[in-house]
């Protein structure tokens, strides 16, 4: 009987390990999380009833029960080195030339890898069982963090496969994914616990916990990038082969690693990963190039603290520390009041940043941001720079809490806070100059009426000069009014009037979108145009009628009826129509031609036949939803040239990948 139980327990462990491997390493789970949990609890139950069969490498035994008093020291048998750096193309070419000269060969093959921004750790397996894990420390001596490393679910407690060396040291990086980091900080804030400035600090803080129960709550991940000590001769000839083998043992290895040829190949990889950088769920601070041929690595050897055969190629930092000179508030198109930090200029991600959004009052309170504070500023891709965290130790003694204004800084109307909303609003609507400007900017913008040459600065100037008060006034501008504006000549005035004239021919959906009704984006505007066919129907629809339309909920319906209940909005619309704005009869898709009705599609890579915007428009017309990121709910991914992580993700989730031709045919 007992033997049977033991066999069941062992089988469950094997099954669970297999599923973990599929999930964490291959990224191809074959069972749901719920099914996994069920197996896990079966095992847990059996082990509770038959504690004599509990073993340290069981998936149930990741979390030790006793907090440590402190970390003991671990000496690295082989020192954990660091990497040299290159920052420019020239430095990269020099690096490669130096190696080619030393090796006396024409072209070197490199293993090119993202440089993960986390913490270097060493994990030793003895006879295939996780034995000890340590931080890098000073490279020679690190701290024993075995109990914490055991809590990271993607790190196997037992290695897979047959031929496992008696002793095997794996080195790699522990990181906290960005998604997990954001969630962690949100929860920590709610609980009044310590938050972290960035995922790297969060990973470091998590590994330094004395209580592994705490570490277990942190969403950490591990990627291996090299071997340390190995008892047994391995017969690999390249670094990439080694990585593939490590992966086959059940240890995650980054899937963006690849071999490249020469400095040119390195440069291309750098650019490719640079483009992917913002879409990855983990921070990277550059890429690493390593000579792929292990014999050549040996020949090239080391300089003092780093291998001669490898280097890091750094990206511009996405984060910097600077000082908030002042906190201002801005008034948005819908009257939302957004606090903005005016910063001492600082370079972040290769760009000089002077402003960072503080989102809203709650956010300022939560982060306790004040004028004069030293702060971490972060800028990822095209996203607006953000204040991530205050460095409290540097706060000036006389600092005071920031108070939001009670009145609109532009029109002086008393501000309102609507229940359930985080933002403060100026209720003056189009009577407020700031909102007037934003409304006109939106109206003229590319996705709306697309008035070429009527940019933000010009709109501001025109409103300030009293030339326009509403969007309709644009169409009643006279050449002499425009040409007298600063930095405007006869010629540019003429061009502007021409493009205003041209914009009169539009489409109903763009016109609806241009009105700037709150919550009515491009997709909603298209639905409204297709279903209601003209402005009269739209303006007369009740909340109940609107709610009947696809994808229109009670809030949107409410906003729409509210917009059309305001007399001055109706007046502006009438003036616009009187000015001669017109559109062609809207093409209403026949239900049968809505080939993609209810499907979710993601676009990625460079398209050649369409711009992103037209492709999106076509998809919407075919009834599809267009999403920005790939998930289980994606039905199709349309991949153009140089598609990156979205394509990889689609492939790993088994989502159908299509090309442009497919869209053309539809
Ligand atoms: S190889 C002897 N590969 O960068 C070279 N390091 O500055 C050992 N890192 O301490 C490192 N991603 O923490 C290597 N793909 C990668 C890496 C990587 C991140 C970190 C690692 C190391 C530091 C070197």
* DSSP state string for 251-311: --B-TT-EEEEHHHHHHHHHHHHHHHGGGSSS-EEEEEEEESBHHHHHHH-B-SSSBTTEE
Nearest CA to ligand 1 atom 2: 81
**Binning pLDDT at 50, 70 and 90, where does residue 591 land?**
low
Nearest CA to ligand 1 atom 17: 115
State residue 372's pLDDT score.
Answer: 96
Query: What's the gap in Å between 642 CA and the centre of ligand 1?
Result: 27
Query: What's the gap in Å between 244 CA and the centre of ligand 1?
Result: 17
pTM: 0.67
Q: CA-CA distance, 650 to 477, in Å (whole number)? A: 50
Please give the positions annotated as active site. Answer: 115
Task: Looking at the structure, give the CATH architecture of the domain made up of residues 319-412.
Answer: Beta Barrel (2.40)
Q: CA-CA distance, 368 to 389, in Å (whole number)? A: 9
Q: Contacts for 234-242 with beta carbons within 8 Å, 24 or more apart?
A: 234/165, 236/294, 237/293, 237/294, 237/295, 238/109, 238/111, 238/292, 238/293, 238/294, 239/111, 239/290, 239/291, 239/292, 239/293, 239/294, 239/297, 240/111, 240/292, 242/294
Q: Which two tokens stand for residue 167?
A: 């002793």
State residue 528's pLDDT score.
Answer: 94
State residue 456's pLDDT score.
Answer: 93
Average pLDDT over residues 543-568: 92
Longest Cα–Cα distance in the chain: 99
For the domain 508-583, what is the CATH code?
1.10.150.20
Q: CA-CA distance, 617 to 639, in Å (whole number)? A: 16
State residue 592's pLDDT score.
Answer: 65
- Reply yes or no on whether the pLDDT at 396 is more than 80: yes
What's phi and psi for 189, nearest 5 deg? Answer: -65, -45
What tens digit of pLDDT does each residue of 452-494 get?
Answer: 999 999 999 999 999 999 999 999 999 988 998 888 888 999 9
- Reply yes or no on whether the pLDDT at 181 is more than 80: yes
Average pLDDT over residues 549-562: 92
State residue 64's pLDDT score.
Answer: 82
Q: Would you kindly state where each structural domain of the chain is located, as residue ranges?
A: 2-63, 84-314, 319-412, 429-503, 508-583, 591-665
What's phi and psi for 627, nearest 5 deg? Answer: -110, 160
The larger pLDDT score, comparing residue 197 to residue 199, is at 199
Average pLDDT over residues 534-554: 92
Atom of ligand 1 nearest to the CA of 173: 13
Nearest CA to ligand 1 atom 3: 225
Q: CA-CA distance, 311 to 287, in Å (whole number)? A: 9
- Reply yes or no on whether the pLDDT at 590 is more than 70: no
Atom of ligand 1 nearest to the CA of 117: 19
Closest CA to 164 of 121, 223, 124: 124
Using alpha carbons, list the distances in angstroms from residue 484 to 334, 456, 477. 30, 18, 12
The larger pLDDT score, comparing residue 256 to residue 662, is at 256
Q: CA-CA distance, 73 to 82, in Å (whole number)? A: 20
Question: Which value, in Å, is the radius of gyration of the alpha carbons in the chain?
Answer: 30
Average pLDDT over residues 429-451: 93
Q: CA-CA distance, 466 to 484, in Å (whole number)? A: 13
Pocket test for ligand 1, best of 288, 290, 298, 304 (most atoms within 8 A of CB): 288
Using alpha carbons, list the distances in angstroms from residue 473 to 380, 490, 502. 38, 20, 16
Identify the weakest region by mean pLDDT among 397-406, 485-494, 572-581.
485-494
Pocket test for ligand 1, best of 225, 226, 247, 298 (most atoms within 8 A of CB): 225
What's phi and psi for 235, nearest 5 deg? Answer: -105, 30
The larger pLDDT score, comparing residue 398 to residue 608, is at 398
* Residues in CB range of 69: below 8 A, 6 or more apart: 210
For the domain 591-665, what is the CATH code?
3.40.50.10190
What tens digit of pLDDT does each residue of 95-132 get?
Answer: 999 999 999 999 999 999 999 999 999 999 999 999 99
What is the domain class of 84-314 according to CATH? alpha beta
Q: CA-CA distance, 345 to 325, in Å (whole number)? A: 10
**Binning pLDDT at 50, 70 and 90, where does residue 258 land?**
very high
- Reply yes or no on whether the pLDDT at 580 is more than 70: yes
State residue 279's pLDDT score.
Answer: 87
Query: What's the gap in Å between 297 CA and the centre of ligand 1?
Result: 16
Pocket test for ligand 1, best of 76, 81, 83, 119 (most atoms within 8 A of CB): 83
Burial bucket for residue 316 (CB in 10 Å: 0-12, 13-18, 19+) = middle
Query: What's the gap in Å between 115 CA and the centre of ligand 1?
Result: 6
Closest CA to 431 of 408, 397, 457, 405: 408
Query: What's the gap in Å between 149 CA and the centre of ligand 1?
Result: 18
Average pLDDT over residues 389-403: 93
- Reply yes or no on whether the pLDDT at 133 is more than 90: yes
- Reply yes or no on whether the pLDDT at 383 is more than 80: no
State residue 454's pLDDT score.
Answer: 94
State residue 421's pLDDT score.
Answer: 79
Atom of ligand 1 nearest to the CA of 113: 15
Identify the weakest region by mean pLDDT among 103-112, 179-188, 288-297.
179-188
Nearest CA to ligand 1 atom 12: 115
- Is 2.60.120.10 the CATH number for 429-503? no
Question: What letter would DSSP give residue 664?
Answer: H
Nearest CA to ligand 1 atom 9: 115
Average pLDDT over residues 6-23: 95
**Binning pLDDT at 50, 70 and 90, where does residue 261 land?**
very high
State residue 462's pLDDT score.
Answer: 94
Residues with CB under 6 A from ligand 1: 81-83, 113, 115-116, 120, 136, 173, 225-226, 288, 307, 310, 312
Q: CA-CA distance, 216 to 603, in Å (whole number)? A: 36
Pocket test for ligand 1, best of 86, 112, 116 (most atoms within 8 A of CB): 116
Q: Beta strand 386-390 with 636-639: parallel, antiparallel or unpaired?
A: unpaired
State residue 650's pLDDT score.
Answer: 84
State residue 587's pLDDT score.
Answer: 72
Nearest CA to ligand 1 atom 13: 120
Average pLDDT over residues 349-373: 89
| In contact, 347 and 355? CB cutoff 8 Å | no
Q: CA-CA distance, 619 to 558, in Å (whole number)? A: 27
Identify the weakest region by mean pLDDT among 158-167, 272-281, 318-327, 653-662.
653-662
3-state secondary structure 622-640: CCCEEECCCCCCCCEEEEC
* Residues in CB range of 589: below 8 A, 6 or more apart: 530, 621, 622, 623
User: Would you tell me which CATH number, out of the four given (3.20.20.70, 3.40.50.1100, 1.10.287.610, 3.40.50.1370), belongs to the domain 2-63?
Assistant: 1.10.287.610
Query: What's the gap in Å between 311 CA and the centre of ligand 1?
Result: 9
State the chain's mean pLDDT as an integer. Answer: 91
* Residues in CB range of 443: below 8 A, 6 or more apart: 449, 471, 474, 514, 515, 516
Report the run of H or E that residue 163 belongs to, with start and end: none
Q: How many CB atoms lie within 10 A of CB 631?
A: 12
Using alpha carbons, list the distances in angstroms from residue 235 to 111, 195, 239, 245. 18, 46, 11, 11
| 599 phi-psi bin (left φ>0, alpha ψ -120 to 50, beta other) | beta
Identify the weakest region by mean pLDDT among 267-281, 386-400, 532-546, 611-625.
611-625
Atom of ligand 1 nearest to the CA of 254: 15
**Binning pLDDT at 50, 70 and 90, where does residue 290 land?**
very high
- Reply yes or no on whether the pLDDT at 589 is more than 70: no
What tens digit of pLDDT does each residue of 205-247 get?
Answer: 999 999 999 999 999 999 999 999 998 778 899 999 999 999 9
* Residues in CB range of 102: below 8 A, 6 or more apart: 299, 300, 308
Atom of ligand 1 nearest to the CA of 312: 7
- Reply yes or no on whether the pLDDT at 655 is more than 90: no
Atom of ligand 1 nearest to the CA of 120: 13
Nearest CA to ligand 1 atom 22: 82
Pocket test for ligand 1, best of 308, 312, 314, 315 (most atoms within 8 A of CB): 312
**Binning pLDDT at 50, 70 and 90, where does residue 305 land?**
confident
Atom of ligand 1 nearest to the CA of 85: 7
State residue 665's pLDDT score.
Answer: 79
State residue 366's pLDDT score.
Answer: 86
Average pLDDT over residues 565-580: 93
| In contact, 500 and 477? CB cutoff 8 Å | yes
Query: What's the gap in Å between 276 CA and the centre of ligand 1?
Result: 19
Nearest CA to ligand 1 atom 18: 115
Query: What's the gap in Å between 83 CA and the centre of ligand 1?
Result: 7
Query: What's the gap in Å between 335 CA and the centre of ligand 1?
Result: 48
- Reply yes or no on whether the pLDDT at 194 is more than 90: no
Name the residue with tokens 């999403």.
627
Closest CA to 157 of 182, 123, 183: 123
Q: CA-CA distance, 88 to 308, in Å (whole number)? A: 18
State residue 317's pLDDT score.
Answer: 83
Instruction: Give the number of residues written for the chain.
Output: 666
Asked if 429-503 and 508-583 have one fold, the answer is yes
């Amino acid at each position: 009987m007992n033997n049977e139980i033991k066999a069941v327990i062992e089988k469950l462990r094997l099954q669970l390990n297999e599923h973990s491997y599929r999930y964490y390493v291959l990224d191809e789970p074959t069972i749901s999380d719920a099914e996994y949990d069920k197996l896990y609890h079966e095992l847990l139950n059996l082990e509770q009833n038959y504690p004599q069969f509990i073993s340290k490498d069981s998936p149930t035994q990741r979390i030790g029960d006793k907090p440590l008093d402190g970390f003991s020291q671990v000496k690295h048998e082989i020192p954990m080195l660091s990497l040299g750096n290159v920052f420019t193309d020239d430095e990269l070419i020099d690096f490669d030339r130096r190696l080619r000269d030393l090796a006396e060969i024409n072209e070197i093959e490199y293993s090119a890898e993202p440089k993960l921004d986390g913490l270097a750790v060493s994990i030793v397996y003895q006879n295939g069982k996780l034995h000890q894990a340590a931080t890098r420390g000073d490279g020679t001596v690190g701290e024993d963090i075995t109990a914490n490393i055991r809590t990271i679910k993607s790190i196997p407690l037992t290695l897979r496969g047959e031929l496992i060396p008696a002793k095997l040291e794996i080195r790699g990086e522990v990181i906290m994914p960005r998604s997990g980091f954001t969630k962690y900080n949100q929860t920590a804030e709610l609980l009044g616990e310590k938050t972290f400035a960035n995922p790297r600090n969060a990973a470091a803080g998590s590994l330094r916990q004395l209580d592994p129960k705490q570490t277990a709550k942190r969403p950490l991940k591990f990627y291996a990038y090299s071997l340390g000590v190995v008892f047994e001769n391995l017969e690999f000839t390249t670094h990439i082969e080694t990585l593939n083998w490590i992966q086959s043992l059940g240890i995650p290895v980054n899937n963006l690693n690849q071999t490249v040829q020469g400095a040119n190949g390195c440069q291309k990889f750098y650019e490719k990963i640079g483009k992917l950088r913002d879409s990855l769920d983990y921070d990277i601070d550059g890429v690493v190039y390593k000579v792929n041929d292990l014999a050549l690595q040996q020949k090239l050897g080391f300089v003092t603290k780093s291998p001669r055969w490898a280097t890091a190629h750094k990206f511009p930092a996405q984060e910097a520390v600077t000082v908030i000179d002042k906190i201002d508030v801005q008034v948005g198109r819908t009257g939302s009041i957004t606090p903005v930090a005016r910063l001492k200029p600082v370079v972040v991600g290769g760009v000089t940043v002077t402003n960072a959004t503080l989102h809203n009052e709650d956010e300022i309170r939560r982060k306790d941001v004040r004028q004069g504070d030293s702060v971490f500023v972060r800028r990822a891709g095209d996203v607006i720079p953000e204040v991530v965290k205050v460095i409290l130790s540097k706060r000036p003694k006389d600092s005071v809490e920031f108070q939001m204004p009670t009145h609109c800084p532009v029109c002086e109307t008393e501000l309102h806070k609507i229940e359930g909303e985080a933002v403060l609003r100026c209720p003056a609507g189009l009577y407020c100059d700031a909102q007037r400007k934003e409304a006109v900017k939106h109206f003229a913008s590319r996705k709306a009426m697309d008035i070429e040459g009527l940019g933000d600065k010009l709109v501001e100037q025109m409103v300030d000069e009293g030339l326009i008060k509403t969007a309709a006034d644009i169409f009643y501008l006279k050449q002499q009014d425009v040409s007298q504006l600063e930095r405007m000549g006869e010629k540019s005035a003429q061009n502007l009037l021409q493009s205003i004239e041209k914009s009169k021919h539009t489409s109903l959906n763009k016109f609806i979108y241009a009105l700037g009704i709150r919550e009515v984006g491009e997709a909603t505007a298209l639905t409204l145009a297709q279903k209601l066919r003209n402005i009269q129907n739209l303006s007369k629809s009740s909340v109940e009628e609107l709610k009947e339309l696809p994808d229109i909920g009670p809030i949107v319906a409410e906003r729409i009826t509210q917009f059309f209940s305001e007399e001055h909005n109706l007046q502006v619309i009438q003036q616009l129509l009187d000015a001669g704005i017109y559109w062609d009869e809207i093409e209403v898709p026949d239900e049968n031609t809505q080939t993609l009705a209810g499907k979710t599609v993601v676009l990625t890579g460079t398209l050649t036949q369409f711009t992103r915007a037209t492709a999106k428009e076509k998809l919407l017309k075919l009834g599809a939803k267009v999403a920005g990121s790939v998930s289980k709910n994606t039905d199709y991914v349309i991949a153009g040239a140089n598609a990156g992580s979205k394509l990889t993700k689609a492939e790993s989730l088994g989502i159908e990948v299509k090309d442009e031709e497919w869209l053309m045919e539809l």
